[in-house]
Amino acid sequence: MGGELVTTPLFDGKSSFISYPPLTNIHDDLRVELEFKPQSAHGLMFFSGGKKMKVEDFVSISMVNGLVEFRYELGTGQAVLLSPEPVSLGQWHRLVAERVMKAGFLQVDQGPVERLSSPGKAQGLNIHTPMYLGGVPSLEILPKPANVSHMFEGCIGEVLINNKTVDLSYSFTESNAISKCVDNSPCDRRPCLNGGDCMSNAEYEYQCLCKDGFEGERCEVVKDVCQRDSQCLNGGSCVEGQCVCAPGHSGPTCAQHSPYQYAAHFDNNGYIALPKAVFPRSAPDSPETIELDINTSSSEGLILWQGVDHGEHGKGKDFISLGLHNGHLVFSYQLGSGEAQLRSRRPINDGQWHKITAVRTGKEGYIQIDEEPALHGQSKGKSLMVNTKGSIFLGGAPDMPKLTGGKFSTGISGCVRTCPC
Ligand SMILES: [Ca+2]
């Protein structure tokens, strides 16, 4: 990179690239977070390939027609995920591209999470080439099915692989035609988190005006509302400065009572915890029924969740959930040997009240929206019982990515009421 240390590289869209040692520990899952400022609507930002053979494993992240494309091949067919909206050129964005076995996820900025699984039996990613950023030294390196025609033109900022920051300027093995990225204002990088406003007050300085409840130079710190359990009311406990309410209570200090039959309004961060007793586990052959009315305009988010206890990691564990994906209701459950996913035919996020009935009997399940015909499905494998120990969360949940094993990152906005059933 010449004589000067470049911490934020600028790629020229032609011969620029930086390479790093081949990725390791990514066979089962790979999560790439990348901060980028594109100058052109096309170009390869990230590539990692396998051995040259008939079908070559690879992962690529590109700009295609102004959209972000996340593409991977595990051996039996590609998954190609696209951001729903084009990203603005000349501005900083952040993408998260993740695959867990065959299941892929892509989110750009605060947009919806796109989901798609790769086809066929292959589950593992087998990587042999270096990891490339911004381009490759020769097009020969790229497998044809990756469908790459341009290299990336623009800047790449922070890069995280499986939650670890890549040291862009020291850990590379090779680089070509890299220069230094220049921003007009220090606010261009969007340094203020959690909805904070950025003010630029000198050439290299910025100041964040944080929203209520956040503090720190970049508004990265969630203000503590408690230091000890006694500051959380009604039997709530203090976990890392935030009250985790006992079932039947809600609010920052758990002051609100939430009886079991209720109507509640949620914003993105709100939720209600109910004791698991309101939703008793029944014998494998008798039906379990969830009935509720919902009125929401959210396209993504968690409506109801029961899985592991709060504080445990939910990845791979049994759960039962109702959520929204692209506005469609998704009833999902995992009994230990495979997940069932039932998706409503129509979106339900039209700001009108809808009656939802979700019923599970062993592996079999169905959902019914209003008076429409029921939609049936079943989970794979032999397991019949859902082994869930935790509280039931409605409208959202604390620490959602951890609790739900990455299935949900937001709650819903809107109203939920239980019917008198
Ligand atoms: Ca493979």
Q: What is the CATH number of the domain that holds 109?
A: 2.60.120.200
Averaged pLDDT, 393-419:
83
240 falls within a domain: no
Same domain for 206 and 297, yes or no, is no
Q: Which residues contact 110 (CB under 8 A, 6 or more apart)?
A: none
User: Of 166, 200, 223, which residue constitutes the final position of a domain?
Assistant: 223
290 falls within a domain: yes
Q: Which contiguous run of DSSP H or E holds residue 9?
A: strand 9-12
Same domain for 172 and 191, yes or no, is no
Quick check: 334 pLDDT over 80?
yes
Q: How far is the CA of 107 from the centre of ligand 1 (A)?
A: 24
Cα(59)–Cα(106) distance, rounded to whole angstroms?
Answer: 13
Quick check: 284 pLDDT over 70?
no
Same domain for 132 and 195, yes or no, is no
Q: How far is the CA of 51 from the centre of ligand 1 (A)?
A: 10
Which of 10-19, 186-195, 261-270 has the highest mean predicted lDDT (pLDDT)? 10-19
Cα(43)–Cα(63) distance, rounded to whole angstroms?
Answer: 5
Q: How many domains is the chain built from?
A: 3
Same domain for 196 and 175, yes or no, is no
pLDDT given at position 259? 53
Same domain for 53 and 197, yes or no, is no
Burial 183-193 (b: 16+ CB within 10 A, else e): eeebbbbbbbb
Q: How far is the CA of 110 from the centre of ligand 1 (A)?
A: 31
Residues with CB under 5 A from ligand 1 (ion): 57, 74-75, 122, 124, 126
Report the range of poorest mean pLDDT among 115-124, 224-233, 362-371, 383-392. Answer: 383-392
Quick check: 276 pLDDT over 70?
no
Same domain for 208 and 314, yes or no, is no
User: Of 173, 198, 223, which residue constitutes the final position of a domain?
Assistant: 223
250 falls within a domain: no
Query: Rounded to the nearest 5°, which phi and psi values hold at 400?
Result: -55, -45
Same domain for 127 and 88, yes or no, is yes
Segment 8-44, tens digit of pLDDT:
999 999 999 999 999 999 999 999 999 999 999 999 9
Q: How far is the CA of 166 from the centre of ligand 1 (A)?
A: 24
User: Of 163, 197, 223, which residue constitutes the final position of a domain?
Assistant: 223
Q: How far is the CA of 99 from the centre of ligand 1 (A)?
A: 13
Write the single-letter amino acid at 398: P
Same domain for 24 and 90, yes or no, is yes
CATH number of residue 197's parent domain: 2.10.25.10
Which of 334, 300, 324, 328 is CA-nearest to residue 405? Answer: 334
342/222: higher pLDDT: 342
Report the range of poorest mean pLDDT among 132-136, 243-247, 375-379, 382-386. Answer: 382-386
Same domain for 215 and 116, yes or no, is no
Same domain for 151 and 270, yes or no, is no
pLDDT given at position 398? 83
Same domain for 77 and 188, yes or no, is no
Q: How far is the CA of 230 from the centre of ligand 1 (A)?
A: 52
What's the longest Cα–Cα distance across the chain? 72
65 falls within a domain: yes
Quick check: 63 pLDDT over 90?
yes
Q: How far is the CA of 126 from the centre of ligand 1 (A)?
A: 5
By the 10 Å C-beta count (0-12 exposed, 13-18 middle, 19+ buried), 378 is classed as middle
Q: How far is the CA of 73 from the centre of ligand 1 (A)?
A: 7
Q: How far is the CA of 115 from the centre of ligand 1 (A)?
A: 20
234 falls within a domain: no
Cα(316)–Cα(319) distance, rounded to whole angstroms?
Answer: 9
245 falls within a domain: no
Q: How far is the CA of 79 from the centre of ligand 1 (A)?
A: 13
281 falls within a domain: yes
Same domain for 140 and 24, yes or no, is yes
Residue 330: which domain range? 258-418
By DSSP bridging, strand 288-296 and strand 354-361 are antiparallel
Q: How far is the CA of 27 from the centre of ligand 1 (A)?
A: 8
> How many C-beta atoms lie closer than 10 Å to residue 5's C-beta?
9
Q: How far is the CA of 211 from the centre of ligand 1 (A)?
A: 45
Quick check: 421 pLDDT over 50?
no
Q: How far is the CA of 124 from the centre of ligand 1 (A)?
A: 4
252 falls within a domain: no
